[in-house]
Amino acid sequence: MSTRTRTAETVVPFEEVMRRFDPVMGLEVHVELNTATKMFCGCATEFGAEPNTQVCPVCLGLPGALPVVNHAAVESAIRIGLALNCEIASWCRFARKNYFYPDMPKNFQTSQYDEPIAFGGYLDVEHDDGAGGTEVFRVGIERAHMEEDTGKSLHVGGSTGRIHGADYSLVDYNRAGIPLIEIVTTPLTGAGERAPEIAKAYVSALRDLLKALGVSDVRMEQGSMRCDANVSLRAKVSDDPASVEQAAVPLGTRTETKNVNSLRSVERAVRYEITRHAAVLDSGSPITQETRHWHEDTGVTTSGRPKSDADDYRYFPEPDLVPVAPTREDVERLRATLPEPPQERRKRLQADWGYSDLEMRDVVNAGALEVIEDTVAAGATPAAARKWWTGELARRANSEGVEVTAMGVTPAHVAELDGLVRDGRLNDSMARQVLEGVLAGEGGPAEVADARGLELVQDDGALEAAVDKVIAAHPDVADKIRDGKVQAAGALIGQVMKEMRGQADAAKARALILERLGVS
Amino acid sequence: MTDLTRLTAARMAEGLAAGDFTSEALTQAHLDRIERLNPVLNAYLQVDTEGALATARAVDAARAAGESLPRLAGVPVAVKDIACTVGIPTTAGSRMLEGWVPPYDATIVTRLKEARMPILGKTNMDEFAMGSSTEHSAYGPTRNPWDLERIPGGSGGGSSAAVAAYLAPLAIGSDTGGSIRQPAAVTGTVGTKPTYGGVSRYGVIALASSLDQIGPCARTVADAALLHEVVAGHDPMDSTSIDAPVPPVLEASATRDLTGLRVGVVREISGEGFQAGVLARFEEAVEELKALGAEVVEVSCPHFRYAMAAYYLILPSEASSNLARYDAMRYGLRVGPDGVDSPSAEQVMGASRDAGFGDEVKRRIILGTYALSSGYYDAYYGQAQKVRTLIARDFEAAFSQADVLVSPTAPTTAFRIGDQTEDPMTMYLNDIATIPANLAGVPGLSLPVGVADEDGLPVGLQVLAPATEDQRLYAVAAALEERLHTAWGGPVLDRAPTVESQEVPA
Ligand SMILES: [Zn+2]
């Protein structure tokens, strides 16, 4: 019997696990499509509407109501399949997945079972090779299939927010019938110790791809993209996780961790499950095949309901729908609408922006490609855009545990800030202070600079006076510079900036010092 | 003054158009008769007196104003309680939906309204259309106007009894395995199951989605064709609806000569196990078809013998899933389990389904749940689907030898209420001749061909045609009906005793 306690379980340190075990993952990603209407009825799909206002007889499962397939959703599904290098079924059906749950109006989910619309593809995912370079890991895509979302239950009362122990539950059927695509990977072997980061890199790459396709809002925090992570361990028999000997070892029992709803959590949840599995196996117990719940706050998973191959959903072909049979021409027409593949796009942008491989990798790892593209489009230099998004802003995002794009600073803000620096109105440290203000919600960069009185002194007379004063006060340093030790100018620049209370352009100060000392 | 309720629907339409009488008078005549006889027959579960009269008056006013109106405008109609009707409770004969008032109309109901036909009310049926006698209604059995101690067929016994007893000139039925045709046969009326997809199922409470079809119940072939034309045709709300013009059924119902038509007698459903009087009337009817110029051949459909077994796997499987939505969460009956203070949703679902469903419904849900279970799926549901394909091939082969097929509609005449309720298998056999058409999706029609010598009760002949060739049913049935009426000096219903003359059983 499973327990529902939140007590952290014993874990084995990750590095130690990796000495003895080989992790295998399977990732299932549910993506809500951004079609105007639901999968099988004409109801709107807008996020955040008043509960139960976007419903009709069909998505409420009223007696007599019948589904009709949303063709826009089928087209999105095909485009996703094509972008994931899948084969597209020339004929496939929907099936009913039967089980009782209050948030499922018909007590069956209309889904696809053994006839998915897309199958047999892959997605190449770039990740850090740990030695300063980039490696490509090919994630096999077993299938991508269409289905409808369920309603959303809100369990009121009790301590866990789950149905058990709740006083009562409310159900919002606005979400019932929203088109979903479920993308299922093959069992991912050969990742070794990189498994957690590859999991994250895959979900990130998938998110970029879906965004580029324009088929979904892919907002993990709103649940329009949700990830379930299957993890199992098997004995490690080779130092090469991709070796033939390692591949021959049978897979261990897996757990399926649900609700992994941020990129960061994907990596953390996979890592946690790996370390937990190892502890269970070390204790001599078998792994229980079950669903587990990820807790973002505590960083652990807890036992959900036992899951076994005996789970019987009594699938059968949905008799109320006719088969979906896209023609060759339909598929080719949709193929022609695919956007530039993300990897090619990355190559193009790297060339356009003049980034080194290392710089580009940092950008990709920080998930900042889109935002830099938007920032450059808003007028910033590529170098400045990179500096801000992978530097100061990435640091802040990381320490706060949020996505870099979720902090309230927009590409337009960064471009404006860069403009102020390039116009000589702000220096670096002032720009950072301005950014503080923008992050604190004080307004746009120009507004913050004005409000905080941050502006470089443009009066050359004051700067010249300060330079002369500093040179006079540090004759020893001045001599060194005259002798050609130009790097010693840094100490004098610091003093000049102090004199100017920071409101000076450091480059200008340096030029003036060198000029005065006759070395320019 | 003539009793308006005795007219055919076609004559009612003519009379209304000619101003011989008003729709209000016609509708009121039916409502009066319903008020008087329905307590005995229990054909209607709901009577919408005000709604029907309002429509009738509106039609009369429109006609008086010289508006052009649809052909059946002002002719009343009854609707099986399986179709959703805004403002009129819809129960599917189940306790589960007692008092549930749909917020939307079934497509066929919308079409009846567009045709401006007053809807008299909702007719009784076996619970969720599971049965062949209407005894499985949660609201009591309907009685056969020919003999109040007998069943009117099922599941649409309410519609057939209403039409046979002149409580409605026309009625809507639904046919999953014979629920329109078998009640027509045992009440001496006409009923058609159109080609699967010929009539929208949207808003009709599903029993078995791949078998269900909606169709007309009437007293004459031409009347059935009139109603068929009103409700048939493509509906974008039903994905399985056929996007093609409605077969010319009305035109076909004027057919009087069958010269050159090839009629196939299906050996497997025209002999063994059928009541002697049923077979005798059937054989005579086949002779009449020859006299009308048809060429009669015997055809064999060897896989029909597996139809019953396949049907009782496919139907319960689909039904177990279709009926899962009745869980007390959003609508319908809700009861808590006994002795539980604050029951869980799961407990409420269980208790409500236990209290809301009758035995026959539970029997089929359990059967279907079992048949779809992993490990059994291939042996049961999968195998049944293969049989279905074989039956469709049997039809194809038969239709290469004959333009239409014929058989008795039901193996017996109306049996006594209570006779078969203890034995589901015997009950299931009532549909032995009608089920193959549902499995293959082909259209079928039943028309009266006389009464059995041994009990004086009506016998039906079934005509079957290839998919989308529904007009062939009407051509054959209309020609045969005309010939029989001429020979008899009137319809077979004229030989039925009046309801008033019969002793009301306790
Ligand atoms: Zn809807």
pLDDT digits 0-9 by tens, B245-272: 999 999 999 999 999 999 999 999 988 8
Nearest by CB to A60, from B237, B318, B330: name it: B330
Query: Which residues, at least 6 apart from B37, have a Cβ–Cβ distance to it below 8 Å?
Result: B165, B167, B499, B500
- Do the chains contact at A61 and B237, CB–CB below 8 Å? no
What is the A53 CA–ligand 1 centroid distance (Å)? Answer: 10
Query: So what's the pLDDT on residue A370?
Result: 86
Catalytic residues of B: 80, 155, 179
pLDDT per position as a tens digit, A46-84: 988 999 999 999 999 999 999 999 999 999 999 999 999
Q: What does the alpha-carbon distance between residue B158 and residue A222 come to, in Å, rounded to a whole number?
A: 51
Residue-wise burial string across B108-128, b where 16 or more C-beta atoms lie within 10 A, e elsewhere: bbbbbeebbbbbbbbbbbbbb
pLDDT tier at A161, thresholds 50, 70, 90: low
Answer whether residue B1 shows pLDDT above 70. no
A278 and A394 housed in the same domain? no
- In a domain, residue A351? The reply is yes
Interface of B with A (CB under 8 A): 83-84, 90, 92, 97, 100, 102-104, 106, 201-206, 208-210, 236-240, 317-318, 320-321, 324-327, 329-331, 345-346, 349, 369, 372-374, 377, 381
- Do the chains contact at B102 and A62, CB–CB below 8 Å? yes
Domain residues for the domain of B104 are 4-303+389-500
- Do the chains contact at B327 and A102, CB–CB below 8 Å? yes
The highest-confidence range among A384-388, A435-439, B170-174, by mean pLDDT, is B170-174
Average pLDDT, chain B: 96
- Do the chains contact at A98 and B321, CB–CB below 8 Å? yes
Report chain B residues whose CB lies below 8 A from the CB of A69.
239
- Do the chains contact at B203 and A64, CB–CB below 8 Å? yes
Give the distance, in angstroms, between the CA of residue A241 and the centroid of all CA atoms in the same chain.
26
What is the B206 CA–ligand 1 centroid distance (Å)? Answer: 18
Q: What CATH number is attached to the domain comprising B199?
A: 3.90.1300.10
In one-letter notation, the amino acid at residue B499 is: V
A175 and A278 housed in the same domain? yes
What is the A42 CA–ligand 1 centroid distance (Å)? Answer: 6
Query: So what's the pLDDT on residue A3?
Result: 42
Q: Which tokens belong to B277?
A: 């009087």
pLDDT per position as a tens digit, A273-321: 999 999 999 999 999 999 999 998 899 999 987 765 557 899 999 999 9
A328 and A355 housed in the same domain? no
Query: So what's the pLDDT on residue A140?
Result: 98
Report chain B residues whose CB lies below 8 A from the CB of A106.
324-325
- In a domain, residue B343? The reply is no
Q: What does the alpha-carbon distance between residue B91 and residue B210 come to, in Å, rounded to a whole number?
A: 21
Query: So what's the pLDDT on residue A159?
Result: 61
- In a domain, residue B364? The reply is no
Report chain B residues whose CB lies below 8 A from the CB of A102.
327, 329, 345
Report chain A residues whose CB lies below 8 A from the CB of B329.
102, 171
- Do the chains contact at B369 and A314, CB–CB below 8 Å? yes
Instruction: Tell me the mean pLDDT in the region A23-28.
Output: 97
Query: So what's the pLDDT on residue A5?
Result: 45
A151 and A32 housed in the same domain? yes
A138: which strand partners? A124
pLDDT tier at B212, thresholds 50, 70, 90: very high
Query: Which residues, at least 6 apart from B333, have a Cβ–Cβ distance to it below 8 Å?
Result: B95, B96, B97, B98, B352, B355, B356
Contact call for residues A276 and A7 (beta carbons, < 8 A): no
- Do the chains contact at B330 and A105, CB–CB below 8 Å? yes
Q: What CATH number is attached to the domain comprising A500?
A: 1.10.10
- In a domain, residue B34? The reply is yes
Q: Which tokens belong to B471?
A: 């007009």
Query: So what's the pLDDT on residue A307?
Result: 64
Query: So what's the pLDDT on residue A310?
Result: 53
What is the B173 CA–ligand 1 centroid distance (Å)? Answer: 27
Contact call for residues B321 and A96 (beta carbons, < 8 A): yes
Q: Of B38, B185, B192, which is closest to residue B124 (Cα–Cα)?
A: B38
DSSP string, A119-146: EEEEEEEEEE-SSSSEEEEEEEEEEEEE
pLDDT per position as a tens digit, A431-457: 999 999 999 889 999 999 888 888 877
Tell me how close the Cα of A322 comes to any Cα of chain B, in angstroms: 6
Mean pLDDT is lowest, of A97-111, A321-335, A474-488, for A474-488
3 state DSSP class of A398: helix
Q: Which residues surround ligand 1, an ion (CB under 5 A)?
A: A 41, 43, 56, 58-59
- In a domain, residue B322? The reply is no
A305 and A211 housed in the same domain? yes
What is the A45 CA–ligand 1 centroid distance (Å)? Answer: 9
DSSP string, A8-62: PPP---HHHHHHHEEEEEEEEEEEE---SB-SSS--B--TTPPTT-S--TTTTT-
Q: Name the phi and psi angles at B228, rounded to 5.
A: -55, -45
What is the A41 CA–ligand 1 centroid distance (Å)? Answer: 5
Q: What does the alpha-carbon distance between residue B342 and residue A167 come to, in Å, rounded to a whole number?
A: 9
Q: Chain B contact for A308, CB < 8 A?
A: no
A387 and A293 housed in the same domain? no
Answer whether residue B117 shows pLDDT above 90. yes
Q: Which tokens belong to A24?
A: 């295998």
Nearest by CB to A66, from B83, B238, B346: name it: B238
pLDDT tier at B434, thresholds 50, 70, 90: very high
Query: So what's the pLDDT on residue A2?
Result: 40
pLDDT per position as a tens digit, A248-264: 999 999 999 998 989 99
- In a domain, residue B197? The reply is yes
pLDDT tier at B4, thresholds 50, 70, 90: very high
Average pLDDT, chain A: 90
Please give the ipTM for the structure prediction: 0.96
Query: So what's the pLDDT on residue A308?
Result: 57
A159 and A211 housed in the same domain? yes
Of A43, A100, A111, A322, which to mutate for an interface test with B (greatest number of B Cβ within 10 Å)?
Answer: A100
Q: Chain B contact for A57, CB < 8 A?
A: yes
- In a domain, residue A450? The reply is no
Nearest by CB to B210, from A67, A315, A319: name it: A319
Residue-wise burial string across B227-264, b where 16 or more C-beta atoms lie within 10 A, e elsewhere: bbbbbbbebebbbbbbeeebbebbebbebeebeebbbb
- In a domain, residue A509? The reply is yes
- In a domain, residue B233? The reply is yes
- Do the chains contact at A107 and B325, CB–CB below 8 Å? yes
Report chain A residues whose CB lies below 8 A from the CB of B381.
316
- Pairs of CB atoms within 8 A across A/B: 103
Nearest by CB to A314, from B83, B210, B372: name it: B372
A390 and A486 housed in the same domain? no
Answer whether residue A158 shows pLDDT above 80. no
In one-letter notation, the amino acid at residue A145 is: H
pLDDT tier at A7, thresholds 50, 70, 90: low
Place of tokens 């016994």: B157
Pairwise pLDDT comparison (A237 vs A428), residue with the higher score: A237
A229: which strand partners? A27, A257
Domain residues for the domain of A499 are 460-516
What is the A251 CA–ligand 1 centroid distance (Å)? Answer: 42
Tell me how close the Cα of B372 comes to any Cα of chain A, in angstroms: 5
- Do the chains contact at A62 and B239, CB–CB below 8 Å? no
Q: Which tokens belong to B322?
A: 């279709």
- In a domain, residue B368? The reply is no
- Do the chains contact at B209 and A319, CB–CB below 8 Å? yes
In one-letter notation, the amino acid at residue B36 is: R
Q: How far is CA B232 from CA A327, A465, B194, B215, in A?
A: 30, 97, 9, 8
* CA-based torsion, B387, B392, B398, B401: positive or negative: negative
Total of domains in chain B: 1
Q: Computed over its alpha carbons, how large is the radius of gyration of chain B? A: 22
What is the A192 CA–ligand 1 centroid distance (Å)? Answer: 45
- Do the chains contact at B324 and A169, CB–CB below 8 Å? no
Total of domains in chain A: 3
- In a domain, residue B56? The reply is yes
In one-letter notation, the amino acid at residue B393 is: R
Please report, rounded to a whole number, the percentage of residues in chain A having pLDDT higher than 90.
Answer: 63
Instruction: Tell me the mean pLDDT in the region A143-154.
Output: 95
pLDDT per position as a tens digit, A120-141: 999 999 887 777 677 899 999 9
Report chain B residues whose CB lies below 8 A from the CB of A170.
none
For residue B128, the chain A residue with the least C-alpha distance is A63
Tell me how close the Cα of B129 comes to any Cα of chain A, in angstroms: 13
pLDDT per position as a tens digit, B340-358: 888 888 999 999 999 999 9
Please report, rounded to a whole number, the percentage of residues in chain B having pLDDT higher than 70.
Answer: 100
- Do the chains contact at A66 and B201, CB–CB below 8 Å? yes
Q: Chain B contact for A91, CB < 8 A?
A: no
- Do the chains contact at B100 and A63, CB–CB below 8 Å? yes
Q: What does the alpha-carbon distance between residue A79 and residue A360 come to, in Å, rounded to a whole number?
A: 28
Q: What does the alpha-carbon distance between residue A106 and residue A104 come to, in Å, rounded to a whole number?
A: 6
Alpha carbons within 13 A on the beta-carbon side of B62: 18
A401 and A490 housed in the same domain? no
Count, residues in chain B: 506
Q: Which tokens belong to A478?
A: 């001045």
Strands B190-193 and B213-218 turn out to be: antiparallel
Q: Chain B contact for A322, CB < 8 A?
A: yes
Of B322, B367, B369, B380, which to mutate for an interface test with A (greatest number of A Cβ within 10 Å)?
Answer: B322
